[in-house]
Amino acid sequence: MVTKIKQYNPSVSEVVSDWQVIDASGQVLGRLATQVATLLMGKHKPTYVPHMLSGDFVIVINASEVKVTGLKADKKVYRRHSQYPGNLKEIPYAQMQERHPERIIELAVKGMLPKSKLGRQMLKRLKIYSGAEHPHSAQVLGSERREIREAAAAKKPAAKKPAAKKPAAKKPAAKKPVSNKASESGEK
């Protein structure tokens, strides 16, 4: 016997985005970027659908302390080109680590996200800081409290509300007979 399983397609109101904080100190760049990209896409949730923005907001702290393996610290080069002849910019990993350690993680995560409008929206949800402080503590606290509230609501049964009294139905007003003005004007 073959049974058909109805596919799950959540609405926008059903999707809930949390705030995740990840400490990058001592972590390997590629593995960290994979973890962050998974959270941004929402693949860690059972409600994941690839065509919606169903992932979480991600805060990465201590970006300046991320590591790379092998000889990448010496040989890795970040390249960009403005499409004008002879305008290739090459920045070695060590120089990028000194000046903009946030960009290292941002570029690694960007390469793992979809190359579409949705991928660009996901990347906007990524917040990277080179130090341990970040200005999003209120959002993180709100996400934690929401989880606690939902767990408490699931434990206790919903209280039944007393049935509200319905207002008495108004009696329709008696209809007045329609006078025929045309016949009255003709009689005069």
Tell me what pLDDT residue 155 has: 85
Instruction: Please say if the pLDDT value at position 181 is more than 70.
Output: no
Q: Does the model's pTM come out above 0.85? A: no
Q: Looking up tokens 């139905």, which residue turns up? A: 169
Tell me what pLDDT residue 188 has: 47
Cα dist from 25 to 22, 40, 42, 58, 130, whole Å? 9, 20, 23, 15, 10
Question: How far apart are the C-alpha atoms of 136 and 139, rounded to whole Å?
Answer: 5
The whole-number average pLDDT for the span 65-76 is 96
101-149 confidence digits (pLDDT tens): 999 999 999 999 999 999 999 999 999 999 999 999 999 999 999 989 9
Exposure of 40 by Cβ count < 10 A (0-12 exposed, 13-18 middle, 19+ buried)? buried
